[in-house]
Structure 1
């Protein structure tokens, strides 16, 4: 990701964030959607305020009025990209006529593998978190926080909160590992086999609580 001078913080440039008026907030959301579209299509490589400004049809100075610099804009765009994916996940689950936890996870998996939903970008975001946790740590922490409520909702409603939390963490970690494996090796057969094992484990877990 670029760290050029055009990525300077508002404190250095003299610009300020939007005060949060309805009009200003609508403008900020529109800019964020456009930058998110660019991020989904082109990834994180060479991301900068100037590139984001071109994608949004504005100037980097306008972006600095609404966002606290390049890192803040990147974080918000990644969060927005995840929100879109989570919306697709929830739609896939809602389309099931009925379903066990295992069936819901099976329905979720193809959505998560959809390359057009920004999968590689989100994988790159996790990579940045590992490369420079001091600067990009929120990209990783935000991921777990965003996905956890949806995963908790997949669990049977009569389970205890503790049990839901344990299973949701397992699903999150395993599916994230599958996605990284698929992206880095292209080994679809191995990932498919792992998913079968995960579904079988979830079936046993749900049966134990019946």
Structure 2
């Protein structure tokens, strides 16, 4: 177990590397590039992380957590009695905002080289689900909340792929409208 000082240093390094990834993306990521961004040496990074893949994974997780925090803040703005549909819709600008292209690259990397990077995709679901579950009405059963959260996650992922690959804003807007209607019907089906 690392000391509190060592853990604070690790977090500081990770923040700097995540910032650099958010700006420059995953292409040509290396320990040396990460070390330059963090203002240290690659040996120091190896002391704190289990190699380039571990550092890359941790930095992607950090970027994704930042996105989730911003999305939850957007979903929580306004009156507390907002519908699930309104909350989900309010998250969309955050999902396509800062650093989204890097997170899309990470999912692409996981699909391209699953043996090495599949965890980048698996952890995405584990990171997003608690937030999506927290948006569902507490009166719903756990199973219903899980099903609806999975629907939201899969649908938004599809919209993100469509946004990144085709840029079809009208098609995505139509899809968001359909998702909104489906969620409104689900909420009314108490």
TM range (shorter): over 0.9
Partner residue of 1:103? 86
Number of equivalences: 189
Moved over 6 A (4+): none
Partner residue of 1:203? 184
Answer with 1 or 2: which has the greater Rg: 1
Partner residue of 1:46? 28
Secondary structure of the structure 2 residue equivalent to 1:197: helix
CA RMSD for the aligned pairs? 0.8
Which of 65, 76, 79 is residue 94 of structure 1 equivalent to?
76
TM-score normalized by the length of structure 2: 0.98
Secondary structure of the structure 2 residue equivalent to 1:186: coil
Q: CA deviation at 1:96?
A: 2.0
Which of 114, 123, 128 is residue 147 of structure 1 equivalent to?
128
Residue 61 of structure 1 pairs with residue 37 of structure 2: no
TM-score normalized by the length of structure 1: 0.88
| Unpaired stretches in structure 2, ≥5 consecutive residues | none
Q: Distance in 2 between matches of 1:159 and 1:127?
A: 34
Residue 156 of structure 1 pairs with residue 142 of structure 2: no
Partner residue of 1:129? 110
| Unpaired stretches in structure 1, ≥5 consecutive residues | 1-18
